[in-house]
Amino acid sequence: MEMDADLRSIAAARRCAEIAFEAYRQFLGTDPAHIDAMVDAMARAIEPEAKRLGQLAVDETGYGNVEDKRVKNLFNALSIADYLRDIKTLGMLWRDDATKIAAFGEPMGVVAALIPVTNPTSTIIFKILSAIKAGNAIVCAPHPRGVKCGVETVRIMARVAEQMGAPKGLIQCLEQVTIQGTDELMRHRRTSVVMATGGPAMVKAAYSSGKPTLAVGAGNVPCYVHKSMASDIGEVAEMVVTSKCFDYGTACVSEQAVIADPEIARDLRHELKLKGAYFCTPAEADRLAKVIFTAKQAMDPEKVGQSPQALADAADFSIPPRTRILISEESEIGWHRPLSAEKLNPVLAFYEAKDSDHGIELAQNIAKFEGWGHTSVIHSNDPQIVAKFALVPTGRILVNTPGIMGGMGYSTDLEPSFMLGTGTWSGSITSDNVTALHLINIKRVAYQSRPWRDIYDQYGI
């Protein structure tokens, strides 16, 4: 009798985990220089395929747009590989002759990588390069809605790695995916660590797996524009609109709400319109909120990553041609105003602050509502205002740069990453931009540096 989908997925997860573990054992001891060459080769193999994989992702998931997914794929291949080339993950990492301590990096083992439907190919590229750089095996568990594009991305990278001598099975992807199968992969005895990117339910399941877990939380990114930016307001507007419309808002690090000082609010509205923003009427905004969110205070998955035109059509109002984002003017924060929450589509909330203190207060409240620990953005030429804003409870404070390009480490010198930790603010183990350095165990070799018997004299024993 044919097994049902859950049983097939569980069986596949067990098989992949066992094969990955054997491949990992064979991979142990591989020259780090050869691993670096392997990482570079996998990244180069993605380059000519980046647009095709983006097309596969859009066709399968219905989220985002091809050109921006191509850019995401290239960033996670080329920029991540450039970063990884300059860091050391295996062997002696550092030594301190004065303290007689040396640190050595060793792999963790088999990585279970949960892949979100919003970024089904780019996240796989990032996690595979990071895991292999750290000497691990990896099994990707895509969202059921992104299996085909995920399998194809893994196939390209695994083929290159195997051509360069990697054991078969070092890089795998579940082809039969259910929640039960993914859960089995996370809990399997051969799995060493879980990398979880996705919705709150998935992240909770990952932390409940009993395995060490790197996971991320929601991002309700506030963007405060200070009056000192008056002469640069056009560039600020371009950064905000470009970041928010990128891949139709599927990145949680994009701006979710703009807060403007009263002195520049009118000009910012004007510039946002010039850059392609459409300001909804209150009635249109209310209909839009009902389209984007369900009655359960959650985003409707069918409205994630949709174009402004598709969202406007669904909410039954007209917008000008070439509109890039939709904006709702807001004054309150909370579920009674749903558009003040995280929106994984090109929809932005706009607040006019009473003054700078009120603007920072609004940013703090927005971050605490649905985005605690993730990212916040400030545009200001006043260092004292930036210092005050840095008290917003987020792991990344981005200054004078677009949220998505700054947060993922392209326009800033943050570590390039497509997995942004949110810290204990939101239940995550790290607030870092996660990299290959989070996928190694660090062993320290410490020589005696002072006479051990001195403890008796020092403490009067």
Q: Which residues are bridge partners to 107 per DSSP?
A: 440
Residues 434-444 have a mean pLDDT of: 98
Residue 1 has pLDDT above 90, yes or no: no
pLDDT in tens, 243-281: 999 999 999 999 999 999 999 999 999 999 999 999 999
Please report the pLDDT score of residue 3 as a whole number.
Answer: 65
The answer to whether residue 252 is catalytic is yes
The DSSP secondary-structure symbol of 422 reads -
For 301-329, the pLDDT digits (tens) are 999 999 999 999 999 999 999 999 999 99
Report the 10 Å Cβ neighbour count for 449: 9
Q: In what order do the strands lie in the sheet with 101-107?
A: 91-96, 101-107, 440-446
- 406 pLDDT above the threshold of 90: yes
Rounded mean pLDDT, 56-67:
98
pLDDT in tens, 102-161: 999 999 999 999 999 999 999 999 999 999 999 999 999 999 999 999 999 999 999 999
In this structure, what DSSP letter does residue 303 have? G
| Catalytic option among 140, 149, 173, 252 | 252
90: pLDDT confidence band, cut at 50, 70 and 90?
very high
Phi, psi of 325 (to 5 degrees): -145, 160
Cα separation, 75 vs 72, in Å, equals 5
Pick the closest to residue 130 from 407, 443, 439 (CA basis). 439
- Residue 204 sits at the vertex; the CA angle it makes with 199 and 206, to the nearest 5 degrees, is 95
Of 83-87, 153-157, 425-429, which range is least confident?
425-429
Residue 345: phi and psi, rounded to 5, are: -160, 175
**Tens digits of residue pLDDT in 354-386:** 999 999 999 999 999 988 899 999 999 999 999
Q: What is the DSSP letter of 131?
A: H
Closest C-alpha to 108, from 88, 89, 134:
134
Q: What is the mean pLDDT of residues 171-178?
A: 96
